[in-house]
Amino acid sequence: MTNVKMKVNGKAVAREVPDETLLSEFLRENLRLTGTHIGCDTSQCGACVVHVNGKVVKACTTLAVSLEGAEITTIEGLANGDLHPMQVAFNDNHGLQCGFCTPGMIMAGVDMVTRYKAEGRELTPEAIRQELEGNICRCTGYHNIVKSIQDAATRM
């Protein structure tokens, strides 16, 4: 057991957990932040994507104890009073159906828009599709997810 301390969605948290606890488990079971989903066992589907110190991480393949002192943002922490422009864009563009992959898609979308903007690169639809390589959606055919991220990029 290890006492893990980190900052999740701006709040300091500390929990005593077994060393093998994954970040996804830590968020879902210990903190009861169930917006981070688990859709596979092999780090392929991206339903568990969160931000760790500003970078995207698949929570299902990260040990909680390795993140001592880290700052984590989950889907629950994205809206700051108002919804985040990415959340609004997903609603406006019908970028979700069953909603299960959506938290991961939104977290990945926020990250890619931020990165491309910082690097001064244009986030084309082709680039969005390539960037979504690690996120699977079974409902939407990606059409409206790509449009949502494109749309959000103009608002962020």
Partner 1 sequence: MSSGIGKSVKRKEDKRFTTGKGRYTDDHRMDNQAYAAFVRSPHAHARVKSIDAAAARAMEGVIDVLDGHQLTGDGIGNIICGWAITSKDGSPMNMGAWSALATEKVRYVGDAVAVVIAETQSQARIAAEAVEVDYEELPVVAHVADAMKDGAVQIHDNAPGNQIYDWELGDEAATDAGLKAAAHVTTLDITNNRLSPNPMEPRAAIATYDDAEEHYTLYTTSQNPHVARLVLSAFYNVAPEHKLRVIAPDVGGGFGAKIYIYPEEITCLWASMKTNRSVKWTSDRSEAFLTDAHGRDHVTHAQMGFDKDGKITGFKVDTIANLGAYMSLFSSSVPTYLYAPLMSGQYDIQNIHCNVRAIYTNTAPVDAYRGAGRPEATYLVERMMESAAREMDMDPAELRRRNFIHEFPHQTPVLMQYDAGDFPKILELAQEAADVAGFPARRAEAEKRGKLRGLGYSTFIEACGLAPSKAAGSLGAGVGLWESAEVRVNPVGTIEILTGSHSHGQGHETTFAQIVADRFDIPVETVQIVHGDTDKVQFGMGTYGSRSAPVGMSAVVKAMDKVEAKVRKIAAHTLEASEDDIVIEGGQVKVAGTDKAMAWHEVGLAAYVAHNLPDGMEPGLKETAFFDPVNFSFPSGAFICEVEVDPDTGQTKIIKFTSADDFGTIINPMIVEGQVHGGVTQGIGQALLEQVIYDEDGQLLTGSYMDYTMPRAADVPFFDVQHHETPSPNNPLGVKGCGEAGAIGAPPAVINAITDAIGTNDLAMPATPQAVWRALRAASKPIAAE
Q: Taking contact as CB under 8 A, which single stretch among the options 51-59, 62-70, 74-82, 113-121 is the one that binds partner 1?
A: 74-82
DSSP 21: -
* Per-residue mark of binding to partner 1, 127-146 (x: CB under 8 A): -xxx-xx-xxxxxxxxxxxx
Contacts to partner 1 from residues 89-108, by CB under 8 A: 90-92, 94, 96-103, 106
Which of 156, 15, 2, 10 shows the shortest CA–CA distance to 87? 156
11 binds partner 1 (CB under 8 A): no
Q: What letter does residue 27 receive in the DSSP assignment?
A: I
* DSSP 8-state class, residue 75: G
Integer Cα distance of 49 and 41 in angstroms = 13
- Cβ proximity to partner 1, 130 vs 154, nearer residue: 130
Evaluate whether 132 touches 142 at the Cβ level (below 8 Å). yes
> Among residues 14, 32, 81, 122, which is the contact residue for partner 1, using CB under 8 A?
32
Residue among 70 and 78 whose Cβ is closer to partner 1: 78
DSSP string, 35-68: TS----SSS-S-TTEEEETTEEEEGGGSBGGGGT
- Contacts with partner 1 by CB under 8 A lie at 18, 20, 28, 32-42, 44-45, 47, 74-76, 78-79, 83, 87, 90-92, 94, 96-103, 106, 125-126, 128-130, 132-133, 135-146
